Structure 1
Amino acid sequence: MVQGWDVPEGRPARGARWLRALWRNVPAGPYRVGCEAGAAVPAGDGVPLLTDHYFPLADGASPTKADAFPTLLVRSPYGRGVPWAALYGILFAEQGFHVVVQSCRGTGGSGGDFHLWRNEAADGRAAVAWLRTRPWFTGALGTIGPSYLGYVQWALAADPPPELRAMVVQVGLHDPYAYFHAGGAVHLENALVSGIGMAHQHRGTGPFLRAALRLRRWLPHAHRQPTPYTSGPAAELPWLAEALARTDADDPYWRGASAERTATRLTVPTCLIGGWQDVFLDQTLAQYRRLRRAGCESALLVGDWTHTGALREGWPEVFAESLGWLRAQLGGEPDGLRRTPVRVHVGGDGGGWRDLPHWPPPPGDAAGPWHLTAGGGLGRSVPDGAAPVGEFRHDPGDPTPSLGGPALSRGAGRRDNRALEARTDVLTFTGPALAGPREVLGEVAARLRITATGAHGTPPEGPFDVFARLCDVDARGRSVNVCDGLVRVRGGTAQPLAVHVPMAATAHRFAAGHRVRLQVSGGAFPRYALPPGAHGAGPVRIALHPGSTLQLP
């Protein structure tokens, strides 16, 4: 089926014009764009994978003319329409690329059943085999895409075809297990939002919005469900319910799911793009570390974006970075490459873009332990005494709510935390006003010494959670989250237990007069599901003891 050679007169063009109005800094390319839609590309087992082909119109050429344009492969479980047709099909085709947008198995009209990870490597290879039969395919191939569209790139790169010469992984993942279960807790809200997107986005705006509204109404009450990841919206998606129920990383279900080893031996030049408030930030930085150790040509760009923000307000920078990388690797135009491999946006007052020779940079002047002290203090000196420096009571019947941070829902990113910190189940430890600006660039963590008691004053029988968050407090008292993390503690103890809470990496500048704050609580619901057995269980009282510290890079 041909949708029309000249897309500017067809339906996708409206999306392109909308993008032009929204992102005026995205440059227009020199080519008009044609589109051949709905090709049924056979997978290795014969299952049809629906595929659209966007191409530059050079001198009135048809899509069968073998022009010297490289090819980009985009494989998506979210359909091939909005926003992928405009973001990749049109914007990159008008810059001189053939762009092939394909719906993953079981999504967007493609045949077969969707599985979270098992089919992507083989189906990607089948797509490349089909490309070899196209008269316009020159043998110069790149891959590009965000989120799960990044995972399919890592799956293909595990055994890369010889034509693969460049990858651009934008806010993407390589390890599905870590996305759902890192820290030991089910990442409930993000998992369900992802599942709803995969199940409904390709069906049109109406079905997607109705499903999203059902989820929004159900989530605030999910803590009343014994197993919220196998009931409600998750029950409608068997593949998602199974992934969430398989909480053990050693479960055979997850064997072969992670593509982390791919980066340790990859030779395909790879550009990684992340966001400080992105749900996949940890995976993006881990990918970069492995690529650099392997000696693979690579670049890293991290903006002050959420996951979806990278494709909205961050798109001009993301597009420019992606286009420059692809032109250099596929078209022999190195002028678009940066002189340094790393570029990050430093948040906070007085921050901005920073080019770096490597990540992370050397420790800054805020580096080292900041000690938690009684009365909610945070300082560089070791506190005296043995009494707890603070304690709180976490009630599963009224769980501490999640606010902002790396989430897929509305309200993600940096938020004013004052209302959250006013709750009695949230502790804050705040340092003195800074005499001068201090920068924090690198991995942040909390090292806490805790005891926990249940309803009868004995250690709780089941697991409990510890959530920690770094905040920037301005002169007016406004507390804004910088980075955070959660770990699940398996069982209580009457003696102080050392608990390490990774809080992700950041690049943030605390301005003069601002204060550093550590926030500690027993969870962040519904971003993280409550521990098994917490439904109907009594409250847990958690005490923090001297020796608890905030670790800044």
Structure 2
Amino acid sequence: MAAQPAKPRNCAGATLDYIGARHVGVGPEVSSYTTQAVKIPMRDGIKLAADLYAPELPSGQTPAGLIMIQCCYGRGAGISFINARVFAARGYRALMVSTRGTAGSEGVFDPGSNEQFDSQDIVDWMRQQPWYPGSFATMGASYLGYSQWALLQNPPEDCVAAIIPVGPHDHAWHAWGTGSFRLDRASWSDVMSKGEEESGSIVSRLANIPGLSFLRSKELEEAVAGLPLDTSLQRYFGDRAPWLFEYLKHPCIDDDYWTSRRHNATLERVQIPILLVSGWWDTFTTQTMHQFKYLRDRGVNVSLIVGPWTHVQGSGIHSMPEIMDFLAEHLAKTGKYSHPPARIHITGSKEWRSMPTWPPVTEPKCLFLQEYNKIGSKLPLQNAPEASFVFDPLDPTPSIGGNQISSGGQVNDSAYADRSDVLAFTSEPLAQAFEVLGKPCVYLMHASDPPFADLFLRLSEVDIEDVSHNITEMYHALDPSRDMTQPLKLELQDCAHRFKKGTRVRLLVAGGSFPMYARNLGTAESRVFGTKTAPQRHTLTIAGGVSQLVLPVAADA
């Protein structure tokens, strides 16, 4: 089949590009551009659909460079603007390729399994084209970022830079890394398994799910609440999203099933400059912070931006000026990325901080869990009574804000303190301000009856009006064979927060966070395939200071 002719940008497209560029804060256009639909052959014979964007430059002037984007969310106006059109209008050529089995690409969509080889085939095809300049950069957020990590598992020599906002490198870590299943895999699979003609724009549906729950419908809410979980979801999905049920079958992240969906080896091999972008309430913050630290320790030229953002907000729409600077230095070779290695937003003070690395040097600040649901620097008495609560899997503790895929973020989580299935340890008003920079750690002398139980911990701040807002959190499915005479060491996710004078520190302890995570049923049965449930009594020993919160506090505090 002959290649389709390139189409010039029309007036409506130019208007949308102008409005979008103002919104994301980039400089003026240098050209218009054309779009050409192409088909890219893979080694197994299937063809991927793609759009090639080429700037219309004066005679004798060449594009600033080539950007490769792999996308499973279609190639429509919304997704193509932030990934291709904004760059084409500023002198770059961009190739936007739809993932296998999506948006006109042949084959079957099987999330995470084909990107490693398909991306290499795309690169091989690019090298054979007359317009190929000899090098390229990669770009794209979320699943588009995952596709970049898959390519970089075997880094092409002509790939010179990568821009990866909110992008995981390990599907298993996200799905089962806590020991409990992330139920946002169900809502994401619901969106991805429906055609755009049935569901509307994939991008808009992912970005605009209302309410505190990320679940998009009453029917899906009922499905994730049903028992057994696998059967309940099967009734909802039917023959859609077969990958979801493979996820459910493989709770061990080291299972062979996950091998093609995990790209930890990339962190060992990659050498090119990389720009990472995340938000404190992104779904993949933990993976992005791990990526930065690992690459930084290896001496890779890696830069990090972390803002007060959720997943969608951290996808690059608030970082476009820095992205343009990064491309100017590492692809176009016409500018300089003059920003620090780590550009961090400090919540609480609402300021940006430039840092040579992350985390910075800190000093431990120890706060002890005390009786009467207090927490503070004073050591509790040796005879301080235990604290306890009961988690009921049939009436689970709800997910409120936090690192949910689309409806999380920093929210008023005061409701937790009024629940009987949550312990809220709260300090006295602070006599002086201090900053927490890094991963808070909780040492918890904990027991549960029965031994099958999970823990959800959250660090929050209570303001002077007695309203609590979340800062960071963690989830952990406990080993039922653990030694309950030994304290647990539980690290929360990275954060950067300034506790102001007069505010209070709050540590929340619960036995679940539903529907963010599949519930522990309190029995030896699988949380995926089980039907029997049992309430779980959690007991914390606080006497003598055995349970404590350790905050990494700025060294000059």
Using structure 2 for the length normalisation, give the TM-score: 0.90
Return the alpha-carbon distance in structure 1 between the equivalents of residues 385 and 5 of structure 2: 69
SS in 1 for 2:36: strand
Return the alpha-carbon distance in structure 2 between the equivalents of residues 419 and 444 of structure 1: 22
Return the alpha-carbon distance in structure 1 between the equivalents of residues 303 and 484 of structure 2: 46
Return the alpha-carbon distance in structure 1 between the equivalents of residues 26 and 195 of structure 2: 25
Residue by residue over 1:332-366, the C-alpha shift from the partner in whole angstroms, topping out at 9 and shown as x without a partner, is 1343331x211110001x231000011100115xx
Return the alpha-carbon distance in structure 1 between the equivalents of residues 247 and 443 of structure 2: 30
When residues 477 and 184 of structure 1 are mapped into structure 2, their CA distance, relative to the original with a 3 A threshold, is same
Q: Is the 8 A contact 1:193 1:409 kept in 2?
A: no
SS in 1 for 2:439: strand
SS in 1 for 2:162: strand
- Percent identity, aligned pairs only, is 31
Return the alpha-carbon distance in structure 2 between the equivalents of residues 80 and 156 of structure 1: 20
What does residue 290 of structure 2 align with?
Answer: 286
What does residue 357 of structure 1 align with?
Answer: 356
Residue by residue over 1:218-256, the C-alpha shift from the partner in whole angstroms, topping out at 9 and shown as x without a partner, is 344322321258435555210122123210122110124
Question: How many corresponding residue pairs?
Answer: 530
Return the alpha-carbon distance in structure 1 between the equivalents of residues 502 and 536 of structure 2: 36
- The amino acid of 1:325's aligned partner reads F
Pairing 1:194–2:188 present: yes
What does residue 266 of structure 2 align with?
Answer: 262
1:377 is displaced (CA, Å) by 0.8
1:493 is displaced (CA, Å) by 7.3
Pairing 1:88–2:83 present: yes
Return the alpha-carbon distance in structure 2 between the equivalents of residues 164 and 234 of structure 1: 39
What does residue 555 of structure 2 align with?
Answer: none
What does residue 454 of structure 2 align with?
Answer: 465
- The amino acid of 2:324's aligned partner reads L
1:489 is displaced (CA, Å) by 1.2
Q: What are the equivalent positions in structure 2 for 1:194-273 lying under 5 Å apart?
A: 194-200=188-194, 202-203=196-197, 206=200, 215-221=216-222, 222-228=224-230, 230-233=233-236, 235=238, 236-273=240-277
What does residue 441 of structure 1 align with?
Answer: 437
Pairing 1:427–2:423 present: yes
When residues 239 and 220 of structure 1 are mapped into structure 2, their CA distance, relative to the original with a 3 A threshold, is closer
Q: What are the equivalent positions in structure 2 for 1:15-414 lying under 5 Å apart?
A: 15-20=16-21, 23=23, 25-37=25-37, 39-59=38-58, 67-188=62-183, 190-200=184-194, 202-203=196-197, 206=200, 215-221=216-222, 222-228=224-230, 230-233=233-236, 235=238, 236-311=240-315, 315-316=317-318, 318-338=319-339, 340-348=340-348, 350-364=349-363, 367-410=364-407, 412-414=408-410
Q: Is the 8 A contact 2:24 2:320 kept in 1?
A: no
1:173 is displaced (CA, Å) by 0.5
Q: Is the 8 A contact 1:496 1:545 kept in 2?
A: no
Return the alpha-carbon distance in structure 2 between the equivalents of residues 489 and 386 of structure 1: 27
When residues 495 and 70 of structure 1 are mapped into structure 2, their CA distance, relative to the original with a 3 A threshold, is closer
When residues 167 and 494 of structure 1 are mapped into structure 2, their CA distance, relative to the original with a 3 A threshold, is closer
SS in 2 for 1:86: helix
- The amino acid of 2:217's aligned partner reads R
Q: What are the equivalent positions in structure 2 for 1:524-535 lying under 5 Å apart?
A: 524-531=513-520, 532=526, 535=531
SS in 2 for 1:399: coil
Q: Is the 8 A contact 2:329 2:335 kept in 1?
A: yes
1:507 is displaced (CA, Å) by 0.6
Residue by residue over 1:33-65, the C-alpha shift from the partner in whole angstroms, topping out at 9 and shown as x without a partner, is 21112x111011121100001121113x6xxx9
When residues 319 and 493 of structure 1 are mapped into structure 2, their CA distance, relative to the original with a 3 A threshold, is closer
When residues 353 and 71 of structure 1 are mapped into structure 2, their CA distance, relative to the original with a 3 A threshold, is same
1:204 is displaced (CA, Å) by 6.9
Q: Is the 8 A contact 2:457 2:473 kept in 1?
A: yes
Q: Is the 8 A contact 1:450 1:498 kept in 2?
A: yes
Return the alpha-carbon distance in structure 1 between the equivalents of residues 290 and 359 of structure 2: 11
- The amino acid of 1:360's aligned partner reads P
- The amino acid of 2:152's aligned partner reads A
What does residue 511 of structure 1 align with?
Answer: 500
Q: Is the 8 A contact 1:396 1:536 kept in 2?
A: no
Residue by residue over 1:425-466, the C-alpha shift from the partner in whole angstroms, topping out at 9 and shown as x without a partner, is 11100112112221011012322111112xxxxx34xx2111
What does residue 456 of structure 1 align with?
Answer: none
In structure 1, stretches of 5+ residues that fail to align are: 454-458
- The amino acid of 2:33's aligned partner reads V
When residues 46 and 495 of structure 1 are mapped into structure 2, their CA distance, relative to the original with a 3 A threshold, is closer
- The amino acid of 1:445's aligned partner reads C
Return the alpha-carbon distance in structure 2 between the equivalents of residues 100 and 486 of structure 1: 39
Q: Is the 8 A contact 2:442 2:550 kept in 1?
A: yes
Q: Is the 8 A contact 2:437 2:494 kept in 1?
A: yes
When residues 447 and 551 of structure 1 are mapped into structure 2, their CA distance, relative to the original with a 3 A threshold, is same
SS in 1 for 2:70: strand
When residues 8 and 345 of structure 1 are mapped into structure 2, their CA distance, relative to the original with a 3 A threshold, is farther
When residues 237 and 256 of structure 1 are mapped into structure 2, their CA distance, relative to the original with a 3 A threshold, is closer
- The amino acid of 2:226's aligned partner reads R
Return the alpha-carbon distance in structure 2 between the equivalents of residues 499 and 202 of structure 1: 46
Pick which of 247-256 and 226-235 moved more. Answer: 226-235
Q: Is the 8 A contact 2:142 2:166 kept in 1?
A: yes
Query: Of the candidates 472, 481, 491, which is equivalent to residue 470 of structure 2?
Result: 481
Q: What are the equivalent positions in structure 2 for 1:533-544 lying under 5 Å apart?
A: 535-544=531-540
Return the alpha-carbon distance in structure 2 between the equivalents of residues 426 and 475 of structure 1: 22
1:529 is displaced (CA, Å) by 0.5
Return the alpha-carbon distance in structure 1 between the equivalents of residues 200 and 147 of structure 2: 27
What does residue 523 of structure 2 align with?
Answer: none
Return the alpha-carbon distance in structure 2 between the equivalents of residues 254 and 385 of structure 1: 47
Q: Is the 8 A contact 2:55 2:91 kept in 1?
A: yes
1:210 is displaced (CA, Å) by 8.7
In structure 2, stretches of 5+ residues that fail to align are: 521-525, 553-557
1:289 is displaced (CA, Å) by 1.5
Q: Is the 8 A contact 1:441 1:505 kept in 2?
A: yes
When residues 70 and 493 of structure 1 are mapped into structure 2, their CA distance, relative to the original with a 3 A threshold, is closer
Q: Is the 8 A contact 1:79 1:201 kept in 2?
A: no
Return the alpha-carbon distance in structure 2 between the equivalents of residues 225 and 245 of structure 1: 15
Pick which of 370-379 and 533-542 moved more. Answer: 533-542
Return the alpha-carbon distance in structure 2 between the equivalents of residues 166 and 494 of structure 1: 47
Q: Is the 8 A contact 2:433 2:499 kept in 1?
A: yes
SS in 1 for 2:140: strand
Return the alpha-carbon distance in structure 2 between the equivalents of residues 301 and 82 of structure 1: 26
1:499 is displaced (CA, Å) by 2.4
